[in-house]
Amino acid sequence: MTYHDRSLKSVSSRIIPVQPFDYVVFGATGDLTKRKLIPALYHRFKDGQFDDQSRIIGVSRTRLDDAAFQKLVHDSIHQFVEAEYRDDATIATFVSCCSYVTNDVADESRWGDLGAKLRDDPNVVRAFYMAIAPDLFGPTCDYIKARGYYRRDARVVIEKPLGHDLASSIMINDSVSRIFEEDQVYRIDHYLGKETVQNLLALRFANVLFEPIWNSAHIDHVQITVAESVGAGTRGYYDESGALRDMVQNHILQLLCLVAMEPPASDAANALRDEKLKVLRSLKPIVGPDVQKLTVRGQYRNGSAEGATVSAYQEELPEDKKGSRTETFVAIKAEIANWRWANVPFYIRTGKRLATRASEIVIQFRPIPHSIFNHAEGAPRPNRLVIRIQPDEGVKLFLMIKDPGPGGMRLREVPLNLSFAETFTERTPEAYERLLLDVVRGQQTLFMRRDELEAAWEWIDPIRMGWDGAPDLPQPYTAGTWGPTGAIALIERDGRTWHEDGH
């Protein structure tokens, strides 16, 4: 199904301007700000979603003046926004909305004065983005409060790593909730900002087709793959984290929630988040000997990725980290112990330096109950719905058809193929564009609530502990493959295989 319709363009280009805002970005000289936040805000500005009545106020320890920060903003647009979306006049106006305050939150004697930049007008939305390490969230909140910058309607945006286990996550959340109420806190999981991830909601709840069969009576199992071809080694943080914390605790569990949750009554933030929380709390704990049985962790050796020779994870690490047991790959057979999903495994896997960059969700339906095609060539294969998150975003529904032409009844599997690139001609917005402006709108639907985050850690912690207590190392896998053989065995033991169409 390739569907070209002019009306799609006008729907997708509808821009709803937001109220003017003061966006204060702590950590304004860091990588996240340069790579993601500035380009995202620039795109939204260029598309007319806000104008020069809004302000972006960079804050960081680095000594800069407004002009130097504006140059940083200018350079980051040139580096991270594609040429076709850059134009000098728009960039100049956008840059003129940016200013800077040098500030060291950890040292009261070096606190900067944000007061001169913030506007008191209640119609100007006030948002604080903490693009900083979590141990600075507390001191930053103290600074905001002590200097009188807090307002009950202000918003605070925080982002992973929100802890390395349940206990540390509670501490981080506590440090923020001493000052901000839960309805002011926006916890980013950037996967929720991806268009294709939001499309999961549309697919499930804006169509009548799927919901009646979205359960254990009709679905055999679900696969969630988030594969990356990039390596991990040079990011210091990664070795402390590993794939389980970096990808499963947040992104993959969020995807699993959107696939598995009950239909919420509305798209109101808490309606949706209540349903996601129920899924997280229904995940069967993986503890004790089950950790070895139901999980596989791996670490890449040297190999080749996208035509180039690449080093092993160990070789990328600094001397003092050599011998690290950190996993760069994880596969888990998860189960959701509730009425809808009893006995439907959710196989999840993610890793660095895999064969290609490909993220997708596969819903494998059960076989037809009875085949009338006894004499047909080729048995009917069970239907499969493949939701491709990135790249080549789209949805494929694999159906059985009769192979056209003479030769008797020959059955063949073909995909009904909705490719976003072929259907929509417009640029797909980056996740941060949507999320940053949802903060201004006060719309928390695509952000994680504290109890969700903690429920996710509760499920993750015993797996981590099982690994830490085990004598074995992560299984090696060659860079540029689909991970360790154990991951293949994990699913094949159940008589199933990983879906690798189009890879």
Q: Per the residue annotation, which of 4, 251, 370, 499 is the catalytic one?
A: 251
Could you give the string, one character per residue 190-219, with x where binding to ligand BG6 holds by CB under 6 A and - elsewhere?
x-----------------------------
Closest distance between ligand BG6 and the C-beta of residue 451, in Å? 21
Q: Does 393 bind ligand BG6 (CB under 6 A)?
A: no
Q: Is 442 helix (H, G, I), strand (E, B) or coil?
A: coil
User: C-alpha 44: how far from its chain's center?
Assistant: 20
Specify the residue, 221 or 245, whose C-beta has the smaller distance to ligand BG6.
Answer: 245
Q: How far apart are CA 306 and CA 158, in angstroms?
A: 34
> How many residues sit close enough to ligand BG6 to count as binding (CB under 6 A)?
3
Q: Which residue has the closest beta carbon to ligand BG6?
A: 246
Q: Name residue, tokens 């109890």.
A: 451
Specify the residue, 240 or 413, whose C-beta has the smaller distance to ligand BG6.
Answer: 240
Specify the residue, 246 or 438, whose C-beta has the smaller distance to ligand BG6.
Answer: 246
Q: Does 438 bind ligand BG6 (CB under 6 A)?
A: no
Specify the residue, 61 or 160, whose C-beta has the smaller distance to ligand BG6.
Answer: 160
Q: Name the E strands within 260-383.
A: 295-301, 303-305, 308-310, 329-334, 346-351, 358-365
CA atoms within 13 Å, Cβ hemisphere of 25: 23
Integer CA distances (angstroms), 442 to 85, 378, 433, in order: 27, 54, 14
Give the CA diameter of the chain: 85
Q: Does 228 bind ligand BG6 (CB under 6 A)?
A: yes
Q: Is 32 helix (H, G, I), strand (E, B) or coil?
A: helix
Q: How far apart are CA 158 and CA 190, in angstroms?
A: 11
Closest distance between ligand BG6 and the C-beta of residue 268, in Å? 26
Please indicate whether residue 251 is annotated as part of the active site: yes
Q: Does 430 bind ligand BG6 (CB under 6 A)?
A: no
Q: Does 246 bind ligand BG6 (CB under 6 A)?
A: yes
Q: What residues between 285 and 344 interact with ligand BG6 by CB under 6 A?
A: none
Q: What residues between 17 and 56 interact with ligand BG6 by CB under 6 A?
A: none
Hey, how many other C-beta atoms are within 10 angstroms of the C-beta on 281? 15
Closest distance between ligand BG6 and the C-beta of residue 362, in Å? 17
Q: Is 436 helix (H, G, I), strand (E, B) or coil?
A: helix
Closest distance between ligand BG6 and the C-beta of residue 173, in Å? 18
Integer CA distances (angstroms), 289 to 285, 293, 486, 488, 493, in order: 12, 7, 16, 19, 17
Could you give the string, one character per residue 133-172, with x where binding to ligand BG6 holds by CB under 6 A and - elsewhere?
----------------------------------------
Closest distance between ligand BG6 and the C-beta of residue 141, in Å? 23
Specify the residue, 242 or 264, whose C-beta has the smaller distance to ligand BG6.
Answer: 242
Cβ contacts of 103-112, under 8 Å, gap ≥ 24: 103/59, 103/60, 103/61, 103/143, 104/61, 105/26, 105/136, 105/139, 105/140, 105/142, 105/143, 106/136, 106/139, 110/61, 111/143, 111/147, 112/59
Q: How far apart are CA 501 and CA 503, in angstroms?
A: 6
Closest distance between ligand BG6 and the C-beta of residue 352, in Å? 7
Residues constituting the chain: 503
Closest distance between ligand BG6 and the C-beta of residue 190, in Å? 6
From the list 298, 45, 46, 178, the residue with the least C-alpha distance to 56 is: 45
Specify the residue, 228 or 360, whose C-beta has the smaller distance to ligand BG6.
Answer: 228
Q: How far apart are CA 441 and CA 37, in angstroms?
A: 17
Closest distance between ligand BG6 and the C-beta of residue 226, in Å? 7
Specify the residue, 126 or 245, whose C-beta has the smaller distance to ligand BG6.
Answer: 245
Beta bridge partners of 297: 330
Specify the residue, 245 or 384, whose C-beta has the smaller distance to ligand BG6.
Answer: 245
CB 232 within 8 A of CB 352: yes
Hey, how many other C-beta atoms are within 10 angstroms of the C-beta on 1? 12
Q: How far apart are CA 405 and CA 7, in angstroms?
A: 36
Closest distance between ligand BG6 and the C-beta of residue 377, in Å? 41
Q: Is 128 helix (H, G, I), strand (E, B) or coil?
A: strand
Specify the residue, 164 or 190, whose C-beta has the smaller distance to ligand BG6.
Answer: 190
User: C-alpha 107: how far from its chain's center?
Assistant: 34
Sheet arrangement for strand 155-159: 98-102, 55-60, 21-26, 125-130, 155-159, 185-188
Catalytic site residues?
251
- Which residue ranges make up the site for ligand BG6 (CB under 6 A)? 190, 228, 246
